[in-house]
Amino acid sequence: MESPDSKRVRMYTTSWCGDCWRAKRFLKSNNIEFEEINIGDDREAAQLVMEHNQGKRRVPTFEISSAFHGDPPLSELAELVGVE
């Protein structure tokens, strides 16, 4: 299993999303570096999110090590980024 430091994490968000705030707080509290992309400000990012979520603008969507995950529960996110 990869260490958390070896995973590249991109988080696609919107400014109004409560689940996004919780996920960001979780990642920060576990010292997981991530790149945040607001799909409200970036049309290409919004299109990418829709391509990976059956046409829906589901946020947060995570791109972790080149795989996409639409709004996973925090327990699943922990597993994806290697937090025990």
pLDDT truncated to tens, each residue of the chain (84 aa)? 444 445 799 999 999 999 999 999 999 999 999 999 999 999 999 999 999 999 999 999 999 999 999 999 999 999 999 998
User: Other CB atoms closer than 10 Å to residue 62's CB: what's the count?
Assistant: 23
The pLDDT, as a whole number, for residue 7 is 77
Domains of the chain: residue spans and CATH: 4-81 (3.40.30.10)
**Which residues, 6 or more positions from 9, have their beta carbon under 8 angstroms from its beta carbon?**
27, 32, 33, 34, 35, 62, 63, 64, 81
> What is the residue type of 13?
T
The structure's pTM equals: 0.89
Strand partners, 5: none
User: What is the side-by-side order of every strand in the sheet holding 35-38?
Assistant: 35-38, 9-13, 61-64, 67-70
